[in-house]
Amino acid sequence: MKNTDLFDIFENAEDELMEDLTEMSPEISDERLEELLAVSERNYKMKKKEYERTRKDKNKEYDGAVSGVERVKRPVWLRPLAVAASFVLVAGVAAGTAALFRKGRSRNADDPPLADVYTDKAALAELCLNSPNYYNKLEASYVLVNINNKTESTETRTTTEAHFEYNSGEQYLLFDSEENYFSNYMSDGDVTSDSHWTHYYYKNKSVAVSHDAAHYEVMTYDNDWYRNRDYISDNEFYLDIFNASSFCKSLDPDKFSIKGKDTVCGRDCVVIESEDEYGRSTEYYDAETGVELKYVSEGKTSEEHTVDFEITDIKYNGDAHVTTPSEFRKWIEDSGFEPYVSIAVDENGNRVDPAVANNLDFLNAPEKPFTTAVQTAVAPAATTAADVSTAAVVTTTAEAAEETVTMAAPDENVQGELEKYAFELYKRSETVNDKINGIGVSGYGDGFLKVSVDPELGYRSYDYEHNNSQWVDNVKFYLPAADENFTTADELRSYVRSAFTQNSFVYRWLEDNLITAPDDFENGGYLDSEYIGYYLIYRGKLYMTAPGGGKGSLEPEYSEAYPVIITNKTDTSFTAYVAEWYGGSEPYNDLNEATCAEVKYVLDPEFNDWRINDIVTRPPGVYKELYDSRNN
């Protein structure tokens, strides 16, 4: 992680600051606005044309997804949101009248008479819009065939076989789908692909499991998953299972007609039809629950678009099996799926650890934090990192030999040795991180390296060659590393390893930035961008980026009243939470003002000692919540 200059802290600001940042933003000249408008207008016309050609219902909102001409591979993290959106259309809608609420129970004699959904359009719409109120559990399977671009010789066909389980009371959903895609529409020949996904939705998160890649990814939303309707796609027809029919949403009786009754999958259905300039649709809704059981549409456009959807099996309430969150977690863990991140860095440019990002704890009740246990491993090696208190380490290891791992609750009033050690190591890691980024470096060697770089990189450096307070363009200067802790690449690696694991983002950043100059490079010569990093090894000597001005860092403050809190302790890992204050004034006792560092420690086999594997900054309040839960 690199330190940033003052105004950099406005990056990724809260929404509340946007008004101020907008007021202070540069004006857009009329001329520039017209140029930008022309670009947006051109793209708008292209997208509109495509959207008009492929949408199946003129009342459908534009959703940002244009489909039909070519298959756009949707990023993994979009898929869960698209399914989640369907539930907002139903679950998030205000409840209907009490008379229609029959959630999972048989009708009683005292119940008011039901409106006739076979004749009353308003009653039918009400039933469909509030469908999840009419059952507690739902388990069903369906087949969906979606055909686009159909001509005499071409078509694009997507066939989906899916199974889903939904608990409408506790709001969790499992959705398993296998999709086969075929298209011979494009001139470059047939395209086919198969995919198998399982998605699980609970609280404000979802898990997407790719059976083909044998991995899973957790996504987090701003709200409960069933309230998220940001992504709705024409192609994700299964959304309609929980009734997304626009004419019902609009409650406009002119948009559809009730044709009569039928039976689908043993369930009595109301049959409705609608027709517009794009084609005709026939839909079948469960007359008791409002769940859509069948949908057939036929297009009228020159390249027909048809959709066939039909439930093949359905069970409600007592007959339905719905996988619980803990059962789903066990399935993932037993199946051996690996955690995966589709985006390797977060919004702050930090590497994302897949194991951390895909924490499945939300599927279970969290374990209570505890900390009296220390590892029972063999005593660590005699030598440890220089700056760590030897006394603290010795004390810790001495106690380690005597204590055993136990699930006992923590003694909330005593700060244990593990907490002390973790705290010291954390502070040391801050020093290490500063130094390898050029902050607090104790010195540099004589001489410098001058490297000409690609102008595309936009470099401008202080002129160390002439040392005349001037700056030069497209040049980067390096100085020989001569810190008290490291002068060679191996010493630098050891220095970082004294606080961090090999898998940590800091160590991986280091390896990415320890670059050896090619053999034919001479001082003053040119290097391609692939050789430009924070460090350069030239003729066996380690150089680091020459500073461009003073650099410092804002030192955090800590409070003895709020010690490190340790959780999730095992023989080989634990997590520590550290309360920090920045920029405030003493006394540091307002936990609402404290930021929280969530620090992951693992027992490093190379040293048989704890090292930091990851550090995540949590917002104010996280430490407070932990502290309060332990002290109340």
Partner 1 sequence: MTGNELKELLEASPEECHRQLMKEYGRYVYAIVFNKLRSCGTREDIEECFCDVFTDIFLRFEYDEKYVSDIRGYIGTLAKRKAIDRFRTLSAADLHNAHADEEEMAELVSDISVDELVDGSELRRILLQKIKELGEPDSTILMQKFYYERSSAEIAKTVSMTASSVRSRITRAMGKLRIKLAEAGITR
Residues 26-45 that bind partner 1 (CB under 8 A): 26-28, 33, 36-37, 39-41, 43-44
Only one of the segments 130-138, 178-186, 295-303, 615-623 lies at the binding site for partner 1 (rule: CB under 8 A); that segment is 615-623
Chain-centroid distance of CA 521 in Å reads 42
Rounded to 10 degrees, the C-alpha dihedral 353/357/359/360 comes to -130
By CB under 8 A, residue 94 contacts partner 1: no
Indicate the helix (H) or strand (E) that contains 439.
none
Nearer to partner 1, 58 or 300 (CB): 58
Q: Which stretch binds partner 1 (CB under 8 A): 132-140, 264-272, 299-307, 617-625?
A: 617-625
**Smallest separation, CB 582 to partner 1 (Å):** 5
Q: 281 has which bridge partners?
A: 274, 297
* First-residue to last-residue Cα distance in the chain: 36
* Interacting span for partner 1 (CB under 8 A) from 107-115, 198-206, 468-476, 559-567: 468-476
Do 440 and 454 touch, CB atoms closer than 8 A? no
Q: Which of 260, 443, 518, 548 binds partner 1 (CB under 8 A)?
A: 548
Q: Cα angle at 426 between 424 and 431, to 5 degrees?
A: 95
Instruction: Tell which one of 174, 374, 527, 615 touches partner 1 (CB under 8 A).
Output: 615
Binding-residue pattern over the window 399 to 438 for partner 1, x denoting contact by CB under 8 A: -------------------------------x--xx----
Show contacts with partner 1 in window 338-357 (CB under 8 A): 343-345, 347-349
96 is a contact residue toward partner 1 (CB under 8 A): no
Stretch that binds partner 1, among 84-92, 265-273, 484-492, 610-618 (CB under 8 A): 610-618
Considering beta carbons, is residue 47 or 280 the nearer one to partner 1? Answer: 47
The dihedrals phi and psi of 535, each to the nearest 5 degrees, come to: -120, 155
595 scored as a contact of partner 1 (CB under 8 A): yes
Count how many Cα atoms sit within 13 Å of the Cα of residue 167 in the half-sphere of its side chain: 15
What is the DSSP annotation of 482-545? --SS-SSHHHHHHHHHTTB-TTSHHHHHHHHHEEEPPTT--TT-B--GGG-SSEEEETTEEEEE
Given candidates 153, 413, 470, 631, which one binds partner 1 under the rule CB under 8 A?
470
Minimum CB separation of residue 40 from partner 1 in Å reads 4
- Give me the least distance between CB of 554 and partner 1, in Å please: 5
Strand pairing partners for 450? Answer: 477
The stretch near partner 1 (CB under 8 A) out of 4-12, 212-220, 380-388, 517-525 is 4-12
Interaction residues for partner 1, span 500-529 (CB under 8 A): 529
By CB under 8 A, residue 6 contacts partner 1: yes
The values of phi and psi at residue 36, to 5°, are -70, -40
Q: Indicate which single residue of 113, 336, 540, 550 sits in contact with partner 1 (rule: CB under 8 A).
A: 550
Maximal C-alpha separation, the chain: 97
Among 170-178, 252-260, 298-306, 549-557, the segment contacting partner 1 (CB under 8 A): 549-557
**Across-strand partners of 193?**
181
Q: Cα separation of 309 and 300, whole Å? A: 18
Q: Is the peptide bond before 587 cis (omega within 30 degrees of 0)?
A: yes
Give yes or no for residue 613 binding partner 1 (CB under 8 A): no
Q: Rg of the chain's alpha carbons, rounded to an integer?
A: 31
**How far apart (Å, rounded) are the C-alpha atoms in residues 535 and 510?**
8
Question: CB–CB of 220/208 below 8 Å?
Answer: no
Nearest distance, CB of residue 397 and partner 1, angstroms = 28
Q: Residues 56 to 75: which contact partner 1 by CB under 8 A?
A: 60-62, 64
Instruction: Work out how close the CB of 262 gets to partner 1 at its nearest, in angstroms, rounded to a whole number.
Output: 32
The CA–CA distances, whole Å, from 614 to 220, 350, 396, 507, 619 equal 20, 10, 22, 10, 16
The site map against partner 1 for 568-587 (x = CB under 8 A) is ------------x-xxxx--
Place of tokens 């090619």: 518
